[in-house]
Amino acid sequence: MDGLGLDDGTKDVIVLHDRTTLSTHGPAQCKGTHCCVHNPSDHPLKDAPMNWRSDRGLMERVCEHGVGHPDPDDLAHKARTLHPEDQWAFSVHGCDGCC
Ligand SMILES: [Zn+2]
Ligand SMILES: [Zn+2]
Ligand SMILES: [Zn+2]
């Protein structure tokens, strides 16, 4: 299985860009949908390291130039769960063209 092996499928621990760990939902909870942790969609930064922005509540992908880009699967999750007026701010970033 993916992650570091908490095996009831409801919780997982992932290793981030800065080598810290983050507790997140388990693979059982996102089954069947794209997920930035367990089932990334086919986007340019799907293999890039992840950076959790706890100040914004947003998952970023850090490109090879050190720029953080909002993870499109996390944005898709927000699009499913947030009011449209609350979604746009998450996608705003200083993009260098990698995503
Ligand atoms: Zn997941
Ligand atoms: Zn870049
Ligand atoms: Zn970008």
Q: Is residue 99 part of a domain?
A: no
Q: How far is the CA of 5 from the centre of ligand 3 (A)?
A: 31
Which ligand lies nearest the alpha carbon of 65? 2
Short-list 59, 61, 77, CA closest to 69: 61
| Tokens describing residue 94 | 């200083």
Give the number of domains in the chain: 1
pLDDT tens digit sequence for 28-57: 999 989 999 999 999 999 999 999 999 999
Q: Is residue 63 part of a domain?
A: yes
- pTM of the complete model: 0.86
Q: Is residue 79 part of a domain?
A: yes
Q: Is residue 43 part of a domain?
A: yes
Contact 52, 59 (CB under 8 A): yes
Kind plus residue range of the DSSP H or E element containing 89: helix 84-91
Q: Is residue 1 part of a domain?
A: no
Q: Is residue 84 part of a domain?
A: yes
Q: How far is the CA of 94 from the centre of ligand 3 (A)?
A: 7
- For residue 54, what are the domain limits? 11-91
**CA pair distance 71, 50, nearest whole angstrom:** 8
pLDDT value at residue 38: 96
Q: How far is the CA of 29 from the centre of ligand 2 (A)?
A: 31
